[in-house]
Amino acid sequence: MEKIDYHVVRSKKRRKTLMLKIERDGRVVMHVPYRTSEREVEKFFQQKRTWVEKKLHEKEKNIDGREGRRQYVTGERFLYLGEHYPLELHELNNRRAHIALSHGIFYLNRDHVSQARELFIKWYKERAREIFAERVSYYSEKLKLYPKEITIGSAKTRYGSCTADNKLFFSFRLVMAPYPIIDYVIVHELVHIKIKNHSQRFWGYMEEVMPEYRKYRKWLKVNGTLLDI
């Protein structure tokens, strides 16, 4: 069963009930009374898990419906590591490389425009495997938290997750974001090896190892819809 991350907001106001909400960026947020125990929070989440999974699935289907907006024509711009690069249709000399990024320009073999989306996804996944492996290795040594394995997937609203047995999953779409955002998601999931929930202890440790994490989390909330292909 895939782990679903959720963020707990504790209210000091006279809130008597627990409430779950799915944000536009796919984050699962639970609003609870201030003194609610972590055991009660987790129990409530498990009671609502089927509903959460359904809503997340619906959200990803809706994003699927937005695909096809790309035209893959000269001048169209594509994100990579936080920068936009223009596309040019070209005759690539290397027949096996139908897409390439060189000198600030994405080159796409004009004979393969019909497969453009698949070629971009393949290219992004290859870059993601290289970059995420290096960043995970760096932060694993720094935090002394070691994942069992790393998998690159295609999730559209969840950029990273950590399973109960410490396997990390990352969406290739994250490689479109700037390095600090990539690092935030990687550190977030590594910390889940140590703390399996989003308790105050979790966020306290996040602040200790990455003091500006709130800024990066906000960036994802505001700009997450840009990480699309």
Residues of the chain with confidence (pLDDT) below 70: 1-3, 13-16, 24-26, 59-68, 92-96
Measured CA angle at 226 (ends 22, 223), to 5 deg: 60
Query: Are the C-beta atoms of 24 and 219 separated by less than 8 Å?
Result: no
Return the pLDDT at 15.
62
Return the pLDDT at 228.
85
For the beta sheet containing 105-109, the strands, ordered from the edge strand earlier in sequence to the opposite edge, are: 77-80, 83-90, 105-109, 99-102
List of residues 6+ apart from 134 with CB closer than 8 A? none
pLDDT in tens, 30-44: 888 888 888 888 888
Return the pLDDT at 12.
72
Return the pLDDT at 3.
64
Interatomic CA distance for residues 149 and 1, integer angstroms: 16
pLDDT in tens, 71-102: 888 889 999 999 999 999 887 665 567 899 99
Query: What is the pTM (predicted TM-score) of this model?
Result: 0.72
Query: Are the C-beta atoms of 142 and 157 separated by less than 8 Å?
Result: no
Specify the DSSP class assigned to residue 110: G
Q: Determine how β-strand 99-102 pairs with β-strand 77-80.
A: unpaired
Domains of the chain: 7-66 (no CATH), 115-226 (3.30.2010.10)
Strand segments (E) across 91-184: 99-102, 105-109, 149-153, 160-162, 167-171
Length of the chain: 229
Residue 99 tokens read as 């897409």
The owner of tokens 């907001």 is 9
Q: Which long-range contacts (CB under 8 A, 24 or more apart) does 179-184 make?
A: 179/81, 179/82, 180/212, 180/216, 181/82, 181/216, 181/219, 181/220, 182/81, 182/131, 182/132, 182/135, 183/135, 183/139, 183/210, 183/216, 184/210, 184/213, 184/216, 184/217, 184/220
Return the pLDDT at 60.
64
Return the pLDDT at 48.
87
Signed CA dihedral, 199, 159, 223, 31: sign only? negative
The owner of tokens 């969406």 is 171
